[in-house]
């Protein structure tokens, strides 16, 4: 599925991703500033999170509580070696039943389960974004 959207269409895009997803793990690929964190914030909001903080760039992981359980949002931009991901117990999170959203997943590729939804994002010259969504089959 490919979607081109603007800022005001983000809630609809988030809803589509949740509807089409076949896994609770979402991998977000895209350059800095493409809108990964913004889209993730909207998705977790739709999953019932009331208070949403900023990207976990400095802390690596944010946890959000919902009535259905905990949602994990990882940002691996600042890690320099995969051992850092092992040290925080990333594997344990990945094999939980929780929703997991990962920015910069390419930095931990060997850890990623094959049962992950992949979202590729690009910024267009007119300011819109194009997203390619590859749910697990």
CB 64 within 8 A of CB 52: yes
Please give the structure tokens belonging to residue 93. Answer: 């999170």
Please give the structure tokens belonging to residue 118. Answer: 């992949």
Cα–Cα dist 29/119, whole Å: 6
Q: Does an H or E element contain 83, and which?
A: helix 82-87
Per residue in 16-26, pLDDT tens? 999 999 999 99
Give the sheet arrangement for strand 2-5, strand by strand: 2-5, 129-134, 117-123, 25-29, 99-103, 69-75, 61-66
What CATH code is carried by the domain that includes residue 86? 3.40.50.300
Per residue in 20-50, pLDDT tens? 999 999 999 999 999 999 999 999 999 988 7
The pTM assigned to this predicted structure is 0.91
Per residue in 88-126, pLDDT tens? 889 899 988 899 999 999 999 999 999 899 999 999 999
Per the structure, the complete domain to which residue 116 belongs is given by: 2-134
Sign of CA dihedral 116, 76, 54, 3: negative
Strand partners, 71: 64, 99
Total structural domains in the chain? Answer: 1
């Amino acid at each position: 599925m490919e979607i081109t959207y603007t800022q005001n269409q983000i809630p609809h895009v988030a809803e589509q991703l949740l509807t089409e997803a076949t896994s609770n793990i979402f991998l977000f690929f895209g350059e800095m500033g493409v809108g990964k964190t913004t889209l993730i914030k909207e998705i977790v909001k739709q999953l019932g999170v009331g208070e949403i903080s900023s990207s976990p760039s400095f802390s690596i992981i944010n946890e959000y509580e919902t009535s259905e359980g905990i949602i994990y949002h990882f940002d691996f931009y600042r890690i320099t070696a995969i051992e850092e991901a092992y040290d925080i117990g990333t594997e344990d999170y990945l094999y939980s039943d929780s929703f997991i959203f990962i920015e910069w997943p390419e930095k931990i590729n060997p850890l990623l389960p094959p049962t992950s939804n992949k979202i590729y994002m690009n910024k267009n010259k007119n300011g819109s974004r194009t997203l390619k969504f590859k749910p697990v089959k």
